[in-house]
Amino acid sequence: MRVEIVTTVGELDLDEWDALLGPGDLYMSSSWLPISEETAAAPPLYLVVRGGDGRACAAVACYPLELEAPFPFSRLDWVLATAGVDARDAQLTMPTLFAGGRFPSHTRVAVRADDPTAALAAALDAVEDAAASHELRSFGLLYVDETDESLRRALDHRGLLAFASGVASSLDVPAAFDDYLARLSGARRNAIRRNRRKLAEAGVELAVRPLRPDLVDRLVELEANLNTKHGTPHDPVAVRAWYDVLLRHFPEGALVGSAEVDGGVCGFVLLLRWRDELFARQVGFDYDLKGELPAYFGVVFYEPIEYAIREGIARIDYATGAAETKRAHGCAQFRQHAYVRCFDAALQARLARSLEL
């Protein structure tokens, strides 16, 4: 097998690349790669593994990330610090190479091969070699699904540091909203009916609509409110620029689930439509305007589910975070694992001790 590495989407055969992808792979798709590439501080690395017949049998997108990169959940230092590693040691792992679609959840190597074990080994060799040759301090696959047994075996075989990194959630879309309610506990069904009544009685308008340029400043403001509340790093200038890139490259797939009351948007979720799936991304709220209204549940669950039913969408991917709330609202869940190698062996050993591995 041989590996090709390029640094721009324009050098890829995108039909060939997309043919390797499966469900949940939006962030590795040709629809998304230009967005991640344009918002990257350093050129990405696109690795394509070819078999003896010359056909692509595996692929992975990789992103060199510095400490100041505005993508905290994709930075190894942030993931390690969240897992309890000393902040100084966590920062010593940077700069790093993030392998997989640059988003928390579903870090994968796309594989369609007669010998997937050999294809995965070749891809992972290339990831490690690329990180070392670019003089990065580490590399990692930070959100590997527990169900991705082939990739986990390949990573375990390499002896990487492995630890739990999150819980991913997704919802299979029912045929009707009543069918969705029937999946839930009686108490949850009653709570949803009460919440929907409260929203209706308060005159809250819930809708899923295409993302428009005139909405972006308000969405950035609402997202900043949420990140301030939870202590998550937020760079409004970078986020604003990211929305501009999204609108240029993915205009038909970018949607906003919103809650409007008293003439203003009090909450939103960014939704991305790809193939027959919907991906929930960032959210934000005006806490003063929202008050005690259950706008979160309206924009994150009720209205996107109604939209997905109308549009014949098969699945909503809810990524990571708020695991208990998502489970209570009918999501299937599975654990995710980070796999990491620091090229400084002493640092790698300290990380293992910190994580009690």
Read off the pLDDT of residues 91-111 as tens digits, 9 standing for 90 and up.
Answer: 999 999 999 989 888 999 999
Read off the pLDDT of residues 53-84 as tens digits, 9 standing for 90 and up.
Answer: 999 999 999 999 999 888 889 999 999 999 99
pTM above 0.85, yes or no: yes
Detail the DSSP E strand segments found in the chain: 2-6, 45-50, 56-65, 96-99, 110-111, 138-145, 161-172, 205-210, 254-261, 264-274, 277-285, 315-320, 332-342
- Check whether 232 has a pLDDT greater than 90: no
Query: Do residues 192 and 217 both lie within one domain?
Result: yes
Alpha carbon distance 207, 190 (integer Å) = 22
Read off the pLDDT of residues 121-157 as tens digits, 9 standing for 90 and up.
Answer: 999 999 999 999 999 999 999 999 999 999 999 999 9
What CATH number did the domain enclosing 222 receive?
3.40.630.30
Quick check: is 195 in a domain? Answer: yes
pLDDT of the residue at 357 = 66
Alpha carbon distance 141, 144 (integer Å) = 7
Query: Do residues 24 and 52 both lie within one domain?
Result: yes
Query: Do residues 35 and 156 both lie within one domain?
Result: yes
Query: Do residues 18 and 159 both lie within one domain?
Result: yes
Query: Do residues 148 and 178 both lie within one domain?
Result: no
Quick check: is 246 in a domain? Answer: yes
The count of structural domains within the chain is 2
Please give the residue range of the domain that contains residue 90: 2-167+335-354
